[in-house]
Structure 1
């Protein structure tokens, strides 16, 4: 990794990238003894030895536990703030939304969108997705909503229902109406913030592989 770097500069460079990637305390450890997150950071450290202006990363957060994902994301943000251009290939869209200012969406080998992150999210109508929480029987509320012809999908995240409307439908008032008719009391009902996942589903055909 230090090919072409000689003398005192070599040690200073290695020490610098180890500090940047928070690996100084493990500099004498065997690679096999490092956690998956540390090994990912070590891979970045090796690349950074020659101070590249552009980084190509393939699934940098794949297989990492939540803490390691947070750490690798913080490191990538720091590299971005240092002026480096980072190209990331990843299926973890939430991480990309937090890191990137431009994205490309590829499906079945075809580039379907390339441009700004904000512009991609702006193409998703905010009132297509709604959040609902009921006081009791979330499972029944989910089933009731899934039966409605204007609802495309309903997902449950710890009692918070995320409802995606079918294209062209704006029957939002029917959501609380049908729940109340079934005796389900609403605790929360509001439009959802648009996510990169929403933009992906809107801009692709859904033929995910």
Structure 2
């Protein structure tokens, strides 16, 4: 659905993007991760035809973004990180305005808008003025606006930014529903830890370059050389700490309220040998497991050092 090749954007001598390469499969949810200023919004703005690249190519559904901007705008729904709303419109008037801007006949809009309001859980607010809505409601209304012309691709730049926990959950559930409808979604970082179960792939961008891209499980697997073992013992841990510190493949040992956390570079066989050795030494091991790596861990680990292979 999205194909980016050697995309570069410069401002004088500053590179906002430098030879960025990235692909997003049709019908997938792609998590775009990176620190502030990494180039996420620049990339999304180029895909949304709002910014021209300095060089390189960006295609949506095989169509070159720069060469055919009007055709691209029909295919995408773009939600920027900061968006404006017309406060003196009622909710339904707001969506009618944007539907009319896309040339959708009024009779068709009359059928479509109630469906969109139902999708984003705003049916009860259909006659409310936009300026009376909470921030979370405005975010959901903006998402409905992105869907009014029924695009194939949604480009969502920090859609959960500034939302309270309940509003973030509501946004997550809406995105799950959109995924089930077959929409292709590219979503930037802020909400990713809560969406780990629905993101098919992630791309980690730093300093305008893609440093890693792939399925979440594959990238997590690449980081397993730096495991964290969680060990709980029956009894005192004082004797266990120096024992663990002297073991091969152990780089650090940290005692926390929920047990001992061991940074371990060995593989499965070495992990099993460590467990058996602890048991033979009489340590009462009641829990011995590998802590799961989440998307935040992946991001922090990958962006420590420069581009990955």
TM-score of the aligned structures, taking structure 1 as reference length: 0.74
Of 97, 109, 121, which residue of structure 2 is paired with 1:22? 121
Q: For residue 41 of structure 2, what is the aligned residue in structure 1?
A: none
Greater RCO (Cα-Cα under 8 Å, separation 6 or more): 2
Q: What is the total number of aligned residue pairs between the two structures?
A: 195
Q: Which has more helix, going by share of residues?
A: 1
Cα displacement string for residues 177-197 of structure 1 (whole angstroms, at most 9, x for unaligned residues): 7xxxxxxx9764421123222
Q: For residue 223 of structure 2, what is the aligned residue in structure 1?
A: 124
2:261 counterpart of 1:163 = yes
Of 136, 143, 161, which residue of structure 2 is paired with 1:62? 161
- Do the aligned partners of 1:155 and 1:163 also contact (CA within 8 Å) in 2? yes
Q: Distance in 2 between matches of 1:162 and 1:79?
A: 41
Cα displacement string for residues 154-179 of structure 1 (whole angstroms, at most 9, x for unaligned residues): 696xx4368362657978959xx7xx
Q: Distance in 2 between matches of 1:33 and 1:132?
A: 51
How far the C-alpha of 1:133 sits from its partner, in A, is 5.4
2:146 counterpart of 1:44 = no
Q: 1:5 to 1:193 in 2, by over 3 A?
A: same
How far the C-alpha of 1:204 sits from its partner, in A, is 2.8
Q: Distance in 1 between matches of 2:195 and 2:231?
A: 26
- Do the aligned partners of 1:103 and 1:115 also contact (CA within 8 Å) in 2? yes
Matches within 5 A, 1:8-157: 8-125=107-224, 128-132=227-231, 150-151=250-251
Structure 2 counterpart SS, 1:98: coil
User: Could you list the runs of 5+ residues in structure 1 that have no partner in the other structure?
Assistant: 178-184
How far the C-alpha of 1:74 sits from its partner, in A, is 0.8
Report the aligned-residue RMSD.
Answer: 3.6
Cα displacement string for residues 105-140 of structure 1 (whole angstroms, at most 9, x for unaligned residues): 112222101122221122121771123457899xx9
How far the C-alpha of 1:20 sits from its partner, in A, is 0.9
- Do the aligned partners of 1:127 and 1:191 also contact (CA within 8 Å) in 2? no
Q: 1:5 to 1:62 in 2, by over 3 A?
A: same
Q: Distance in 1 between matches of 2:115 and 2:255?
A: 45
- Do the aligned partners of 1:101 and 1:118 also contact (CA within 8 Å) in 2? no
Greater Cα radius of gyration, structure 1 or 2:
2
Q: Distance in 1 between matches of 2:208 and 2:180?
A: 31
Q: Distance in 2 between matches of 1:134 and 1:128?
A: 19
How far the C-alpha of 1:202 sits from its partner, in A, is 3.5
Runs (4+) of structure 1 exceeding 6 A deviation are 134-137, 168-172
TM-score of the aligned structures, taking structure 2 as reference length: 0.52
